[in-house]
Chain A
Amino acid sequence: MTPNLKMKIPSLSNDTKWILIWLAGISVLLVWDLVFLNKPALVRVWLGFGNTLLVSAISLTTALLLSFTVSSWITLSRWNERPKLARTGELFLNIFRSVPQIIGLLTGFLILTLLVTAEIMTGKTAILTGFGVTVGVVIFYEFSDMLLERVAWFEQTDFVSASRTAGVPDTHLLFIEIWMRNSLPHLINKLISGFGATIFLLCSIDFVLSVGLSSSVSPINFPPTLGSMLAQIDSKQDILSIGILFTDPFYFPSLFTRHLQGLSVAFLIVFTLACSFKIGNAFTRRHRL
């Protein structure tokens, strides 16, 4: 008998495929950098990447905590016919919604700068946490809107009334039945877009910061992130060197060895954003959100 040599390849969802593509792309770049990039630049680039991921994680955690707190405050107040409490929560949410994200971020970073200048905030972990919390505060209303939309959707049906009159406690109905059991894909989708938004906002603000916040605080003495790395003159020169290709196309291979710092940073930003966009889209389609 001939043994069946065919291997069963598990079918992967498109979002999982894009996560694997992202991880593979990052790994290839890491190996390339290990071979061709000088050590101080290597440490800076990958520390910046690690810090950016850390800030994203902190910002998403902050956004989640704030959004769950505010959304549950508003919903439970409404369900218990406490209109003043509900309106207070809505006002709080609207205040954050009314401030453009970039203004909110700048204000947050100004406060961080003041704290660093006054040497109240000194450790790098503390500064990164400050970054994360600032971004989280700026984007949390998007999470709240999603959570409240889910509640509104269920309120349109008999689900909320039927559950409450049957004796399901309000907190169980809200947190377990509506959010945990029926909104997890929506929440994960929001986390994916929040991850992309954090990186984008961080890069934007780091460019603004590269102009300088004060004489004693600058992106140089802030912990490196992808945005601040991109704002450095070395990286800018590396990216500008792409222009050489117009006059000397044979310079192309040299880009990947001589200008690796800037290109690595640019690749990490663009590739991560593109992959998070693709992951989010595929996830949305898979769960028909």
Chain B
Amino acid sequence: MKPLTFSADISVGSHSILSITDFSIEQGKINVLFGESGIGKTLISKSIFGLTDPDKLSIEINSLGYQDYLKTEQVEAFRKNGFFVLQEPSSQFNPSLTIQEQLNEADLNSDLTEADILSGLWQSDQWKSLLPLYPQSFRPSGGEKQRFLLAMALKKMDNLANQNQLKPETLFIFDEPSGSLDNGFRNAFLEQLISRYQQNRFTVLVITHDYTIIPWFKNHKSELTSNLSWLELTKTDSGELQCNPFFPDEFISWQKKLSPMGLIKGVAVADLNSGVICHGRQLSFQSGTKPIESLKLKSGTLTYLKAPSGVGKTTVARLLLGLYHGENLQLSICGYEFTSLNTQVDWKKLIWGKKAGMAFQLADEALNPVSTVKQVFTALKNPKLKTNDQILDFLQPVFLKKLDEAFLSGQVKYLSGGQKQRLNLMRSIASEPEVLILDEPLNGVDFRTIKMFTGILEKLLQNGTAILLISHNEEIFDKLSFKENQIQLKADELLKENAFTTEETES
């Protein structure tokens, strides 16, 4: 079938924010679109689906003004028979209707039941207690909301299939469908999607940063190879977007070559006891299935902290850096002892910007968007990073292009998602910390940046840095860390009403 091809020009006033001439989606196939965060994947997809607010942006699709484009039969068909699952689940729910009502609203209302879909996505009956809830910012959790949205899309597929309307022209777009999901839940969703796809070949566009979806398809759905279209959105030097084919084998062969990095055993530089209570949960650590007394971070060693989403991995990172207070805390870090009685003043005096650092999950939040790249480093008052040359020398190894002073004087908000993530990482290691915590470092980056990141990680470990890694990319980090250094986090709830706090903070 002829692919759906779009050209788009999107601007605010005279400032062009997106320009592409060849955005193509293969009809009747599962299209997977990669690209670093902020490049425009969501904007172009929402625009072609007819979901962008025409009052806020000046949009031209296929040489049509947006108002005219919205009136085309194609957009009407997308809206009538398609579905767009937004990246941020909260924004798609109506707060004045219960989840149950929204699962049966408008064209989702049918004789079909959603119970099987929900049981499949939850792998339990836990969803039943959530149906009477009105969606709020903190409840259901981000992951639960995402699963309800996916259930809506799956239910719509069933309704359309019942009416023989699930055709190659039907477009379902999933924007980061696994953004708040563990791999187990992600796979459960993919299984349901594919079982429907195999019955009726319709068009699917999955927008994601999750490259580990590639080995999953390869290992579990090899029969679908010819039905998959792998795409990558990249930006040329002139700022124009290009939609290029992505070669999944490249990722798979890179992944196969991965091997554990750093030392198996090093000298312990940080030690956090099991049993710390934070936000109503008692946190404990396990190596395999065996409980351990403490989480030890050792020099030159990559420690990989694993747990399902919402259990409190980021809470552990914040406890290690004194950002949260924990009861029963016994922490030794870089030769300093901390207990529940210590205040942030102690951490500030002894640890922050000196002994330990952390690259936070969202570079967009962690960095000041209106600061220049240079100001990000001069703010640290680090004597080694004062002049332009010193900062350029420090940053150059993690950037592909030759950096110059113009790059330093550019504002952070104009950097791509991958560049911001690298800057975020580089700021956290600017003080050459003995302990480095990396919270979801591969969030929002493209394959090139992932490869570069593993290179940086290797160098840091060679220099003796003790690294604590928090990530849901198990397919990558299970291979990069030694089994002995893969630690499971367990959280026992003590106070039910406080249980949401941690999850909310994490999300």
**Which residues from chain A sit less than 8 Å from chain B, CB to CB?**
79-81, 157-159, 161-170, 172-173, 176-177, 181-182
| CB atoms of B353 and A159 under 8 A apart | no
Map CB proximity to A onto B426-456 as digits: 1 under 8 Å, 0 otherwise: 0110110000000000000000000000000
For residue B369, which residue of chain A has the nearest CB? Answer: A182
Query: Besides the contacts A162-B366, A168-B379, what 11 more A-B pairs have beta carbons closer than 8 Å?
Result: A158-B366, A164-B352, A166-B353, A167-B381, A167-B430, A167-B431, A168-B353, A168-B380, A177-B371, A181-B368, A181-B370
Give chain B residues whose Cβ lies under 8 Å from the Cβ of A173: 379
**16 examples of A-B residue contacts, CB within 8 angstroms:** A80-B345, A158-B362, A158-B365, A159-B365, A159-B367, A159-B368, A162-B360, A162-B365, A164-B348, A165-B321, A165-B352, A167-B430, A176-B379, A177-B371, A181-B370, A181-B371
Map CB proximity to A onto B192-221 as digits: 1 under 8 Å, 0 otherwise: 000000000000000000000000000000
For residue B381, which residue of chain A has the nearest CB? Answer: A169
- Output the least CB separation between B359 and chain A (Å): 8
Give chain A residues whose Cβ lies under 8 Å from the Cβ of B380: 166-168
- Output the least CB separation between B216 and chain A (Å): 30
The answer, yes or no, to whether B382 is at the interface (CB within 8 Å) is yes
The answer, yes or no, to whether B340 is at the interface (CB within 8 Å) is no
With A80-B345, A161-B318, A161-B323 known to touch, is A166 a contact of B368 (CB < 8 Å)? Answer: no
With A79-B344, A161-B318, A161-B323 known to touch, is A167 a contact of B365 (CB < 8 Å)? Answer: no
For residue B378, which residue of chain A has the nearest CB? Answer: A172
Q: Is chain B's interface secondary structure helix, strand, loop, or mixed overall?
A: loop
For residue B56, which residue of chain A has the nearest CB? Answer: A288
Q: Cα distance A3–B122 when bound, in Å? A: 73
Map CB proximity to A onto B344-357 as digits: 1 under 8 Å, 0 otherwise: 11001000111011
Q: Cα distance A82–B231 when bound, in Å? A: 53
The answer, yes or no, to whether B284 is at the interface (CB within 8 Å) is no
Q: Cα distance A173–B343 when bound, in Å? A: 19
| CB atoms of B366 and A167 under 8 A apart | no
Give chain B residues whose Cβ lies under 8 Å from the Cβ of A165: 321, 323, 352-353, 356-358, 428
- Output the least CB separation between B372 and chain A (Å): 10
| CB atoms of A80 and B365 under 8 A apart | no
Q: Cα distance A159–B424 when bound, in Å? A: 11
| CB atoms of A166 and B345 under 8 A apart | no
Q: Cα distance A164–B79 when bound, in Å? A: 46
Give chain B residues whose Cβ lies under 8 Å from the Cβ of A169: 381
Q: Cα distance A161–B367 when bound, in Å? A: 11
In this complex, the member of A157, A164, A173 whose beta carbon has the largest number of chain B beta carbons within 10 angstroms is A164
Q: Cα distance A181–B344 when bound, in Å? A: 25
The answer, yes or no, to whether B361 is at the interface (CB within 8 Å) is yes
| CB atoms of B382 and A167 under 8 A apart | yes
Q: Is chain A's interface secondary structure helix, strand, loop, or mixed overall?
A: helix
| CB atoms of B352 and A167 under 8 A apart | yes
Give chain A residues whose Cβ lies under 8 Å from the Cβ of B353: 165-168
- Output the least CB separation between B270 and chain A (Å): 14
With A158-B366, A159-B368 known to touch, is A81 a contact of B358 (CB < 8 Å)? Answer: no
For residue B427, which residue of chain A has the nearest CB? Answer: A166
With A165-B353, A167-B353, A167-B381 known to touch, is A182 a contact of B368 (CB < 8 Å)? Answer: yes
| CB atoms of B365 and A163 under 8 A apart | no
With A158-B361, A158-B365 known to touch, is A166 a contact of B428 (CB < 8 Å)? Answer: yes
| CB atoms of B379 and A80 under 8 A apart | no
Give chain B residues whose Cβ lies under 8 Å from the Cβ of A159: 365-368
- Output the least CB separation between A78 and chain B (Å): 10
Q: Cα distance A172–B379 when bound, in Å? A: 7
| CB atoms of A80 and B344 under 8 A apart | yes
Q: Cα distance A249–B382 when bound, in Å? A: 76
For residue A157, which residue of chain B has the nearest CB? Answer: B365
Q: Cα distance A168–B353 when bound, in Å? A: 8
- Output the least CB separation between A156 and chain B (Å): 9
Give chain A residues whose Cβ lies under 8 Å from the Cβ of B352: 164-167
| CB atoms of A81 and B344 under 8 A apart | yes
- Output the least CB separation between A166 and chain B (Å): 5
| CB atoms of B360 and A161 under 8 A apart | yes
Give chain B residues whose Cβ lies under 8 Å from the Cβ of A177: 368, 371, 379
Q: Cα distance A176–B375 when bound, in Å? A: 10
Q: Cα distance A157–B362 when bound, in Å? A: 9
Give chain B residues whose Cβ lies under 8 Å from the Cβ of A172: 379, 381
Q: Cα distance A164–B322 when bound, in Å? A: 11
Q: Cα distance A172–B377 when bound, in Å? A: 12
For chain B residues 381-432, which have a beta carbon within 8 Å of chain A?
Answer: 381-382, 424, 427-428, 430-431
Q: Cα distance A267–B371 when bound, in Å? A: 43
Q: Cα distance A165–B427 when bound, in Å? A: 10
| CB atoms of A158 and B379 under 8 A apart | no
Give chain A residues whose Cβ lies under 8 Å from the Cβ of B371: 177, 181
Map CB proximity to A onto B158-172 as digits: 1 under 8 Å, 0 otherwise: 000000000000000
- B354 contacts which of A157, A167, A176 (Cβ < 8 Å)? A167
Map CB proximity to A onto B309-343 as digits: 1 under 8 Å, 0 otherwise: 00000000010010100000000000000000001
- Output the least CB separation between A11 and chain B (Å): 9
In this complex, the member of B353, B354, B371 whose beta carbon has the largest number of chain A beta carbons within 10 angstroms is B353
Q: Cα distance A144–B380 when bound, in Å? A: 27
In this complex, the member of A162, A166, A173, A176 whose beta carbon has the largest number of chain B beta carbons within 10 angstroms is A166
- Output the least CB separation between B498 and chain A (Å): 18
For residue A81, which residue of chain B has the nearest CB? Answer: B343
Give chain B residues whose Cβ lies under 8 Å from the Cβ of A167: 352-354, 357, 380-382, 430-431
- Output the least CB separation between A100 and chain B (Å): 35
| CB atoms of A166 and B357 under 8 A apart | yes
Give chain A residues whose Cβ lies under 8 Å from the Cβ of B360: 158, 161-162
For residue B377, which residue of chain A has the nearest CB? Answer: A166
- Output the least CB separation between B361 and chain A (Å): 7
A-B pairs, 4 with minimum CB distance: A167-B353, A162-B366, A81-B343, A157-B365
For residue B411, which residue of chain A has the nearest CB? Answer: A181
Give chain B residues whose Cβ lies under 8 Å from the Cβ of A80: 343-345, 348
Q: Cα distance A232–B476 when bound, in Å? A: 81
Q: Cα distance A177–B367 when bound, in Å? A: 10
Give chain A residues whose Cβ lies under 8 Å from the Cβ of B428: 165-166
Q: Cα distance A161–B315 when bound, in Å? A: 13
Q: Cα distance A235–B148 when bound, in Å? A: 69
For residue B318, which residue of chain A has the nearest CB? Answer: A161
Q: Cα distance A182–B365 when bound, in Å? A: 13
For residue B359, which residue of chain A has the nearest CB? Answer: A162
Q: Cα distance A212–B370 when bound, in Å? A: 52
Map CB proximity to A onto B177-189 as digits: 1 under 8 Å, 0 otherwise: 0000000000000
- Output the least CB separation between A137 and chain B (Å): 32
